[in-house]
Amino acid sequence: MTTRVVSGFDRDAWSAFPSTSPLTTADWLSVMITRLPGEVFTAVRDGELGFVGALVTDPDAYEAYNPYALLLRDPPVFGGTDSAARSRALSELRASAATVLPALVLVAPGYLGDPVGPARQAPDVLADCLQDVFAWGTRHTVVSCHVMYTQQTTKAVAAAVAKLGGATYPLTSRWQLPVGWQGWDDYLMQRSGTRRAKIRRELRRCAAEGVSWGRLDVERHFERIVEARCGLLLHYRQQVDEAGERRRLRDLASRFGTRLLCFGASRHGDLLAVVVCVRHGRSLTVVYSGASDAGFATPYAHFVAAYYAVIQSVGPADLDEIDYGIGHGEEKSLRGCRPAPLHGHVVAADSERRRLLGIAARWLSPGTDPVPTQETSTAAEMGTAS
């Protein structure tokens, strides 16, 4: 069997695979794939397996999809390691952007890198597919290949990457809220007394500020949702493409229809904060958020939109879980979310890069010895991805 790799997103080939997340559906990828920082490609192995990703060449590309930033930049993108010791180790490695870039990055926008297809849990098939993808990448001067943010397939991908002489390391966590409450009061009673009191204080403060919250009609609030999205990006000094955000929201609404849900917090008709969600089966995934300047200035407006408006609108008759994505773990834990670990995987083109990136990967694994053992070095030399 062979792996076919094509430029762009191959919707027809991808649609043959079932998806366990809205972030790996053809509808989502058709709209959002351009968020990846590089030339997009699709890899499909004879109906068994599929990956999407991008060819990343810019050392300053968005850090969460940039293997140079994730593995070699100091301080670490997601923390969770001995930053002082890691900093010393990286300076001694003398690795550069050329150690890892150009790179093939296999991931769907929304921070999910699990492949699709019936062989997604088969290490041998995964290894063969990744080797084919890397061979295709070498024609683009690629020096490393990465699968980022795996959740359900981490063990299988890790075994496949190890077979190719690569390494696996922890990245961050997705935060998921189990839906098991029977109404708002029951949700509150499932929190500890301290957390319950904090949530009630936040709601009282918002009510005192004249804030209301609930589900939003996308069409009616379309322009305000776009404005809030751009406002949040500006606040965090990210690049803003208002026309692109408007096009994406329009396309999401067209493709997902009633499965696209929005929740917001408003005051006197002005939208303060919003979250955009996609329903897939019995799971609801929060795909992005937005906030106006007034929303940032209003205490707890974001929490009301992102959590309380959603929680008050759904229950176990509708959903099993709400997926809140990565980051901001403390605020998500406070509201009942549980972490699911996400991992990255790297395979390099030659023995020296395998050694350097293997060490860098181990520095992202808390409690491990970053010095390669003879066994590890030998395994790297036996890698077949070059």
Q: What is the pLDDT along the chain (386 residues), one digit of tens a residue?
A: 789 999 999 999 999 999 999 999 999 999 999 999 999 999 999 889 999 999 999 999 999 999 999 999 988 898 766 778 888 899 999 899 999 999 999 999 999 999 999 999 999 999 999 999 999 999 889 999 999 999 999 999 999 999 999 999 999 999 999 999 999 999 999 999 999 999 999 999 999 999 999 999 999 999 999 999 999 999 998 889 999 999 999 999 999 999 999 999 999 999 999 999 999 999 999 999 999 999 999 999 999 999 999 999 999 999 999 999 999 999 999 999 999 999 999 999 999 999 999 999 999 986 544 443 333 322 222 222 22
Q: Are residues 151 and 189 in the same domain?
A: no
Q: At 345, is the secondary structure helix, strand, or coil?
A: strand
Q: Are residues 161 and 208 in the same domain?
A: no
| Domain-ending residue, one of 271, 288, 319 | 319
pLDDT score recorded for residue 367: 54
Q: Are residues 229 and 169 in the same domain?
A: no
Q: What is the CATH number of the domain that holds 270?
A: 3.40.630.30
Q: Are residues 170 and 30 in the same domain?
A: yes
Q: Are residues 62 and 159 in the same domain?
A: yes
Q: Are residues 85 and 152 in the same domain?
A: yes
Q: Are residues 169 and 214 in the same domain?
A: no
Rg (CA), the chain: 22
| pTM passes above 0.85 | yes
149 within 8 A of 24, measured Cβ to Cβ: no
Alpha carbons 181 and 320: distance in angstroms, whole number = 10
User: Domain range spanning residue 196?
Assistant: 180-319
Q: Are residues 101 and 209 in the same domain?
A: no
Q: What is the CATH number of the domain that holds 64?
A: 3.40.630
Q: Are residues 200 and 254 in the same domain?
A: yes
Asked if the structure places residue 233 within a domain, the reply is yes
For residue 204, count other CB atoms closer than 10 A to its CB.
11
Q: Are residues 355 and 259 in the same domain?
A: no
Amino acid at 17: F
pLDDT score recorded for residue 15: 95
List all residues 6 or more positions away from 236 whose beta carbon is below 8 Å from its beta carbon.
none
Asked if the structure places residue 306 within a domain, the reply is yes
Asked if the structure places residue 327 within a domain, the reply is no
Q: Are residues 126 and 270 in the same domain?
A: no
- Across 60-91, b (16+ Cβ under 10 Å) vs e yields ebeebbbbbbbbbbeebebeebeeeebeebbe
Asked if the structure places residue 368 within a domain, the reply is yes
Q: Are residues 44 and 122 in the same domain?
A: yes
For residue 152, count other CB atoms closer than 10 A to its CB.
15
Asked if the structure places residue 229 within a domain, the reply is yes
Closest by CA position to 264, among listed 309, 294, 200: 309
State residue 269 phi and psi, 5-degree precision.
85, -10
Closest by CA position to 126, among listed 172, 171, 98, 168: 168
Asked if the structure places residue 258 within a domain, the reply is yes
Asked if the structure places residue 332 within a domain, the reply is no
pLDDT score recorded for residue 85: 86
Q: How many domains does the chain have?
A: 2
Beta strand ranges found along 38-143 (DSSP E)? 39-45, 49-56, 103-106
Asked if the structure places residue 334 within a domain, the reply is no
pLDDT score recorded for residue 373: 32
| Domain-ending residue, one of 319, 354, 373 | 319
